[in-house]
Amino acid sequence: MKKLTNYTNKKILVLGLGKSGYAVAKLMHDLGAEVTVNDRNDLIGNKHAEELKKMGLRVIGGGHPLDLVDENVSVLIKNPGIPYSNPLVQKARNMGIRVITEVEIASELSESPFIGVTGSNGKTTTTMLLGEMMKGSDLEPVVAGNIGTALTSVVKDVTSRNVIVAELSSFQLLGTETLHPRVAVVLNIFDHHLDYHGTVENYAHAKARITMNQTSGDYLVYNADSERVIKYVADKTKATAVPFSTTKKVETGAYLADGAIYFKNEKIMGIGEMGLPGEHNLQNALAAVAAASLCNVPAEYIAHVLRTFTGVRHRLQYVGVIQGRTIYNDSKATNILATSKALASFPSKEIVLLAGGLDRGNTFDTLIADLKKAKIKAALLFGQTTAKLQDACEKAGIPTIRPVKNVEAAVPEAFSLSQSGDVILLSPACASWDQYKSFEQRGDIFIDEVNKFR
C-alpha cells in the first residue's frame, strides 16, 4: 500500500456501514484521519459499529443528521447504493466537498495494477473467470470489489507482485476520480438501475468512467455486439480498444468461428469444451479470454480454466446431478433479463422452473416469450409475485403451474414433477427480500434442500 499522508488529521465522513463502509472507515483511521461513520439504521448491537467505536471512531446511527457535514469535512465516502439525492450527499456537494466511493480510495492507495470489469449482466462470472485465468500470469490475482469483498479491505496487503481483478458497478464507478485500470472490460449496457441514475445515458456514462483515465498504453476490452457499449464507451476511450463478439470475426480481439473460441486468429478451444452453459456465458468467456490474453496468460492455461470453471455460486451455478436431474442454482437472477438468459441456456432440456419473490410492481409480460420458447414442463412459484408469475406462465402455456409456500416447499415438488434427464432450475426473476435476507440465503437453502435427495 502506498504511504499517503494527505488524509492525516483530516475529517472524513463515511456514509453507510456496510462491508465497504466498515473497510474504508478502518483504513482511513489507519491513515490518521478523524473518521465519523453514519448509518440510517439503528446500530445498537452491531458488531462492526462496536469494533469501530473501540478503535476510537465516532459512529452515529438511526438517521442522517445534516450537521455531520460542515466546513471541516474534507471527504465524504459514501456507500455506493446511497443515492446522490441523499440530503447529506447533496449538502456536501453544494459545499464543494469531495463525494467518492471506497473504490477511489483503493485506487489511490494500491501498488497493484487494476483489471476492472463492469456491465449490466455477467460481470461477476467474467471477474471470477478472469481471476482464475490470471493465476497463469506472472502476477498473483486478488479478486475483489462489487463481488462481495471491499477493495479497501484488500488494498493494504497487495504489492506490485499482485494484480487486482475488480468487479465494478455503476454505483461504485460514479464515485471515482483517479481510477486507472491497466485493462478495463465493458460487457453490456441494458436498462438497469434507472431509478438511481435517472436515464440510460446517465447510467452509460457512469459505466464509461471505468476508462476515463486510461491512455493508449492501456486496454479497453469491449462488446462489439452492443451498440450502447460502442457509442458510450469504445468510441470515446483513449485506450487501445480490443473487441469481442459472438456474431462476427473481430481479428483484433476475441470471437467465435467454426465452433471454437479465438483470440487474434489463435484458436483457444472448442465451444463444446466449455464448462459453463449458455450463450451469455460465451460472451463472458470471450471477454475474459481477451483480457487474460492481453496480460500474457498462455492460451493453454486460458483453455484449462474455461474447461474446468462451472460457475459462480448463485449465478447459474451447477450444483450436480441428483437422481438423474441436473440441478442449477441461479438465485442471483433477481430480474427478468437474468432469468431469460438462464432459460435460454438449456434449449434441448425439459425444465422444472422455480421462480418468484419480491414484488417490485412490474409484470412479467416480457418473460412470456422466453417461457414459451423454453421446454418448461412445470413451474413452481412462490413469494409476493406468485399471482403475476402464474399469469405469465398460463399465457406461455406451461402445462403444470403450482403455487408453493417457498423454496423449501418447491424442491420436493420439483423432484416429484421431473424425471431423469430433466433440469431443475432455480431462477427467480425477482429479488429475495420478501422471504429471505438475500439471494445468497435463498440459493443456499435451495442447495441444502436438493442435497437431501442425493
Dihedral (CA of 254, 144, 10, 18) sign: positive
CATH for 11-100?
3.40.50.720
Looking at 3.90.470.10, 3.40.50.720, 3.30.360.10, 3.40.1190.10, the CATH number of the domain 104-308 comes to 3.40.1190.10
pLDDT of residue 74: 97
CA distance 112 to 409: 47
Question: Comparing C-alpha atoms, which of 272, 350, 274 is closest to residue 305?
Answer: 274
pTM above 0.75, yes or no: yes
Given strand 260-263, what is the order of strands in its sheet?
140-145, 162-167, 114-118, 183-186, 219-223, 240-245, 254-257, 260-263, 266-270
Question: Residues 107, 172: contact at Cβ < 8 Å?
Answer: no
Q: Where are the domains of the chain?
A: 11-100, 104-308, 317-451
Q: Choose among 316, 417, 427: nearest CA to 370.
A: 427
Per-residue pLDDT tens digits of the chain, which is 454 residues long: 787 788 999 999 999 999 999 999 999 999 999 999 999 999 999 999 999 999 999 999 999 999 999 999 999 999 999 999 999 999 999 999 999 999 999 999 999 999 999 999 889 999 999 999 999 999 999 999 998 899 999 999 999 999 999 999 999 999 999 999 999 999 999 988 888 999 999 999 999 999 999 999 999 999 999 999 999 999 999 999 999 999 999 999 999 999 999 999 999 999 999 988 888 899 999 999 999 999 999 999 999 999 999 888 898 898 999 999 999 999 999 999 999 999 998 988 999 999 999 998 999 999 999 999 999 999 999 999 999 999 999 999 999 999 999 999 999 999 999 999 999 999 999 999 999 999 999 999 999 999 999 9
**CA–CA separation, 35 and 48 (whole Å):** 14
Whether residue 221 contacts residue 165, with contact meaning beta carbons closer than 8 Å, is answered with no
Question: 317-451, what's its fold?
Answer: Protein-Tyrosine Phosphatase; Chain A (3.90.190)
